[in-house]
Amino acid sequence: METRSLEFLKTLLDTPGPSSFEAAPARVWRAEAERIADEVQADVSGNSYATLNPGGAPRVLLAGHIDEIGVMVSYIDEQGYLSFDTIGGWDPQVFVAQRVTLLARGGPVRGVIGKKAIHLMEKEEREKVSKVEDLWIVIGAGSRAEAEARVRIGDPGVLAATLAEFPGDRIVSRSIDNRIGAFVVLEAVRLLGAARAGLAASVTAVATTREEISGGGGGARPSVAVAEPDVAIVVDVTHATDYPGIDKRRHGEYRLGGGPVLSRGAAVSPVVFELLAETAEAEGIPYAIEAAGRDTHTDAEAIFNAHRGVATALVSVPNRYMHSPNEMVALADLEQTARLLAAFAQRLTRETDFVPR
């Protein structure tokens, strides 16, 4: 991966932005987009857009959501301890003894999640799993008034984990689900901009909001009204199944470094799926296929069903340890996915038909 792209990726992943509070990573994304796109804009839903060749046809939308899971202050007690709720889906066991960064109006506030020490627990307590209501956040305040001078109800936060580079061209970070998708779609625009000769399509990358908390489509649904695409590719993550204890018969076989994963079924156009598969094979890009019999649980549903319908596909990056502060992906998969999106857009013409026949 080019040095510029890698540094952008690091900054993007390290910038806190849980669902409904994505403004900071969105600013980072748009600043990078200004360097490579013909048009950059934002909307009232917090979505950010970067368009290349705005007068072209067909209109292509490449969507990756920029939000991440997090926490939110829900109560402050008389001693200054903070109760919290979750933003998005968590395994509560992950929270125990973690450090957090709360995004308060006066700036970041450091905290730590507390739990009764094992030495003080009765036997039956030790055998119980932790629940969010049994935990609390400490910010060093000695009273409610002292805490309220620094934070207020509804302040969001993230676990205080930053990106780490691992051997084998892998990275570990929180927010990989799915800020990595927002990175990939902009990287595809970068590739197209560097070799735009012959590009007939208008290509818009969008960093959507609120995917982790919205069953109604979050920012993805209004993004269709702004971009008015003929075809859309959603980029998200899927579970890597290349570690111990995973039943591949139930969950499929997807590995880090194995290339992008193309979904079939659910909110996926069979026409766009076949075009993506043909493109991958023509470009020598390895890929796997994931079955989605009912729902993809991504922005694909919201986009596929918006307006009169959009020919939509879902391309995913294999991700280990999803919804934790230490998710892991392979940089090669990010590069291969961006290449696939760019090559797909290059193959489209004004005559490309997305209607299944």
* 166 has pLDDT over 90: yes
Mean predicted confidence (pLDDT) in 73-96: 97
pLDDT given at position 116: 84
Interatomic CA distance for residues 125 and 84, integer angstroms: 21
Which fold would CATH assign to domain 70-159?
Elongation Factor Tu (Ef-tu); domain 3 (2.40.30)
Mean predicted confidence (pLDDT) in 189-206: 94
The domain segmentation of the chain, as residue ranges, is 3-68+174-347, 70-159
Task: Note the CATH number of domain 3-68+174-347.
Answer: 3.40.630.10
Structural contact between residues 224 and 204, judged by C-beta atoms closer than 8 angstroms = no
pLDDT band at 34 (very low <50, low <70, confident <90, very high): very high
Mean predicted confidence (pLDDT) in 320-332: 97
* 216 has pLDDT over 80: no
Average pLDDT of the chain is 96
Q: How many residues appear in the chain?
A: 357
Q: How far is CA 99 from the centre of its chain?
A: 22
Mean predicted confidence (pLDDT) in 18-25: 98
211 counts as catalytic: yes
Mean predicted confidence (pLDDT) in 299-323: 96
Encode 235-280 in three state secondary structure. Answer: EEEEECCCCCCCCHHHHCCCCCCCCCEEEEECCCCHHHHHHHHHHH
pLDDT given at position 63: 98
- Name the strand (E) or helix (H) holding 224: helix 220-227
Give the count of beta carbons closer than 10 Å to the beta carbon of residue 46.
Answer: 22
Mean predicted confidence (pLDDT) in 21-47: 98
pLDDT given at position 66: 98
Sign of CA dihedral 227, 233, 234, 235: negative
Burial of 227 (C-beta count, 10 Å sphere; 0-12/13-18/19+):
buried
349, two tokens:
């013409």
Catalytic, out of 22, 32, 187, 211: 211
> DSSP of 115-147, one letter per residue?
---GGG--HHHHTSPP-GGG-EEE-S-SSHHHH
Lowest mean pLDDT among 65-69, 146-150, 214-218, 276-280: 214-218
54, two tokens:
């705005």
* 197 has pLDDT over 90: no
